[in-house]
């Protein structure tokens, strides 16, 4: 049930007693949406976030009995590091999601060896245009500062990242709080998705989310909630 109606958009708060229950429920919802997309257009595109939260969800989704050979998996964002780096989201997805049944999926990474992140962002932007848009499923995380994807509050060009009218798919991100430079989907491509989930765990993240949706300075996650044309499904467990 909707916990609160926000501006023109809303979110649905789905609270679970523990993280394994959340992982199973989120994996089930995502698998259902992917199966629906495959039935409608013969393929499904899933974009996932990295970080420390999604491990259990990835493991639960990896065994879902769906037509994984018709699923394209890509990333909401990526640290500008090779897949061999412990910081790599591509490495995290390879080790935790693209296993078991999900091994049959096609993976589209964002990081590539190149002279600079701007060149990689431009080549990703061109390459990803060949995917079937809009995305079917996007799974977001959120930091304690209210960032999501790589929309960091201190990003050099945050307004460009958050422009709901942007025609860009991928942009580079430079933000002191991000650690290394990032590559990210733009907000415009995130909110186009057929199903948007926000996966957060722990009391700190719940407090951060409540703070982000309360009146006051707008945090990046609030920009997504406000711009999304359909409710964002928030999945939370203590």
Ligand X SMILES: O=C(O)[C@H](O)[C@@H](O)[C@H](O)[C@H](O)COP(=O)(O)O
Residue ranges in contact with ligand X by CB under 6 A: 49-53, 76-77, 89, 141-143, 148-149
Residue showing the smallest CB distance to ligand X in the complex: 141
Q: Confirm if 95 and 86 have CB atoms less than 8 A apart.
A: no
Backbone φ, ψ for residue 230 (5° rounding): -140, 155
- Give whichever of 102 and 208 is closer to ligand X, judged by the CB atom: 208
- Give whichever of 71 and 183 is closer to ligand X, judged by the CB atom: 183
Long-range contacts of 80-89 (CB under 8 A, 24+ apart): 80/111, 80/117, 80/120, 80/172, 80/180, 80/181, 80/182, 80/183, 81/111, 81/180, 82/111, 82/113, 83/109, 83/111, 87/179, 87/180, 88/50, 89/49, 89/50, 89/51
- Eight-state DSSP code of residue 145: T
- Give whichever of 70 and 79 is closer to ligand X, judged by the CB atom: 79
**Helix (H/G/I), strand (E/B), else coil: 79:** strand
Q: Confirm if 8 and 226 have CB atoms less than 8 A apart.
A: yes
**Helix (H/G/I), strand (E/B), else coil: 107:** strand
Least Å distance between CB 42 and ligand X? 28
Beta bridge partners, 48, equal: 75, 139
Least Å distance between CB 229 and ligand X? 21
- Give whichever of 36 and 168 is closer to ligand X, judged by the CB atom: 168
Least Å distance between CB 146 and ligand X? 10
Least Å distance between CB 141 and ligand X? 2
Least Å distance between CB 34 and ligand X? 20
Least Å distance between CB 47 and ligand X? 10
- Eight-state DSSP code of residue 159: H
- Give whichever of 62 and 150 is closer to ligand X, judged by the CB atom: 150
**Helix (H/G/I), strand (E/B), else coil: 219:** coil
- Give whichever of 23 and 66 is closer to ligand X, judged by the CB atom: 23
Backbone φ, ψ for residue 185 (5° rounding): -60, 150
């Amino acid at each position: 049930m909707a916990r609160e109606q926000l501006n023109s958009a809303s979110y649905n708060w789905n609270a679970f007693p523990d993280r394994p229950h959340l992982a199973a429920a989120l994996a089930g919802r995502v698998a259902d949406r992917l199966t629906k997309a495959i039935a409608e257009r013969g393929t499904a595109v899933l974009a996932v976030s990295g970080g420390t939260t999604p491990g259990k969800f990835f493991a639960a989704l990896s065994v879902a009995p769906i037509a994984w050979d018709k699923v394209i998996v890509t990333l909401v964002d990526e640290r500008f590091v090779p897949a061999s780096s412990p910081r790599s989201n591509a490495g995290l997805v390879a080790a935790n999601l693209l296993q078991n049944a999900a091994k049959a999926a096609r993976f589209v990474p964002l990081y590539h060896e190149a002279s600079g992140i701007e060149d990689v962002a431009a080549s990703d932007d061109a390459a990803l245009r060949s995917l079937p848009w809009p995305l079917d499923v996007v799974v977001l995380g959120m930091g304690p500062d209210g960032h999501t994807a790589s929309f960091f509050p201190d990003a050099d060009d945050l307004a460009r990242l958050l422009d709901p009218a942007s025609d860009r798919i991928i942009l580079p991100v430079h933000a002191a709080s991000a650690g290394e430079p990032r590559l990210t989907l733009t907000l415009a491509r995130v909110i186009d998705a057929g199903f948007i989930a926000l996966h957060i765990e722990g009391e700190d993240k719940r407090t951060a989310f409540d703070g982000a949706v309360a009146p006051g300075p707008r945090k990046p996650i609030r920009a997504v909630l406000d711009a999304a044309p359909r409710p964002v499904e928030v999945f939370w467990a203590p």
